[in-house]
Amino acid sequence: MDQFSGKVAVVTGGGTGMGRELCQQLAGLGCHVAMCDVSEDNMLESQALCYEGAVSGVKVSTHVCDVSDEVQMQGFQREVEKLHGDVVHLLFNNAGIGGGGGFVLGDRQEWEKTFAVCWYGVYYGCRVFMPMLLKSDQGHIVNTSSVNGFWASLGPGVAHTSYSAAKFAVKGFSEALINDLRINAPHLSVSVVMPGHIGTSIAINSGKVLGHSAPLDMSEEEVRVLRENMMNQPGPMSEVVMNMSDDQIRQAMHERGIAFRDNAPTSAGEAAKVILDGVREKRWRILVGDDAHRLDARVRANPEDVYDLDFTALSSIFEEDNA
């Protein structure tokens, strides 16, 4: 699919970040877009931005939907069919959240919600829109995994199980689809996207989806639990946290989410362009960001050592990015 004009694209998580940028860039290329998100307000902002740069005649629709809920996804599909017709050419299973790091000591509900959004959102997306993709003359599925889909860690001392497990599932499913589609639907293709650190609001939005208060609004009990979790992690941070006031912890968490979005080596707009270029080139494996390429090379070079305490992949990558 070397051009998108006149096509119909479905984008999950279109309210912010890479999803918003994908919607904007697709609309600017003449592609009709149906986006979903849990936040209607964010989607309306995305829709307005899309129409500012859209090719004349392009339709951009918004749909409130939790991708982890199959019934809601089925409803999303029916709305898309009603507004855009019964054919979809592009499916971007992009929605995702962070959280659920600890399996041994973490909250089970948070773990399973994170896994459901990041994995079942992809699975349900493919399930409900497959009939519409099959009706296209040419279609492409784009599933967003992560560098945590080939390296299940954020570094020593940080549990990262739910997100990593989901992203490994997305990567494996997408790779398995290559042959499945080749045999059963040769007019369809699939790509798995593995971004590094991208400038999105995932660190800010995840807490909202998981039912947490915004950092600056955290209750005393929420701060207490957060403090305990941080103090249980090895390293000098535990002593720092012990001496911080509740308000200092709230402010630090707020600033961390902002910094993750604003100080990333790759912007959401740049990431969306890499993804669309990968679709045009029909690449099944799309790494996004120099940090993703470096980490991929290091994991491949030392697969037996990547979970050793002295594996310095992340710190080295970020040192190079900030150089």
Q: How far is CA 20 from CA 2, 130, 212, 252, in A?
A: 21, 23, 23, 27
pTM of the model: 0.89
pLDDT tens track for 231-248: 666 566 666 777 788 777
pLDDT given at position 320: 41
More confident residue, 169 or 211: 169
Tell me the C-alpha distance between 169 and 119, whole Å. 7
Q: Which amino acid is at 217?
A: D
Tell me the C-alpha distance between 81 and 69, whole Å. 19
Tell me the two tokens of residue 164. 């990593």
CB-CB contact of 2 with 28 (8 Å): no
Nearest Cα to Cα of residue 271 among 161, 121, 144, 137? 144
Tell me the C-alpha distance between 218 and 253, whole Å. 10
The arithmetic mean of pLDDT across residues 67-71, rounded, is 98
pLDDT given at position 55: 95
CB-CB contact of 194 with 147 (8 Å): yes
Q: Decide if pLDDT at 91 tops 90.
A: yes
Nearest Cα to Cα of residue 22 among 276, 278, 194, 200? 276
Residues in the chain: 323
pLDDT tens track for 255-266: 777 777 778 889
Tell me the C-alpha distance between 116 and 123, whole Å. 10
Nearest Cα to Cα of residue 10 among 23, 1, 21? 23
CATH 3.20.20.10 given to domain 8-200+266-299: no
Neighbouring C-beta atoms of residue 267, cutoff 10 Å: 18
Kindly list the domain boundaries of the chain, sorted by start residue. Answer: 8-200+266-299, 204-263
Per-residue pLDDT band for 267 (boundaries 50, 70, 90) equals very high
Q: Decide if pLDDT at 323 tops 50.
A: no
Range 301-316 burial, b when 16+ CB lie within 10 A, else e: eeeeebeeeebebbee
Tell me the C-alpha distance between 286 and 189, whole Å. 13
- Where residue 99 falls (left for φ over 0; alpha for ψ -120 to 50; beta otherwise) is left
Tell me the C-alpha distance between 271 and 199, whole Å. 9
CB-CB contact of 45 with 24 (8 Å): no
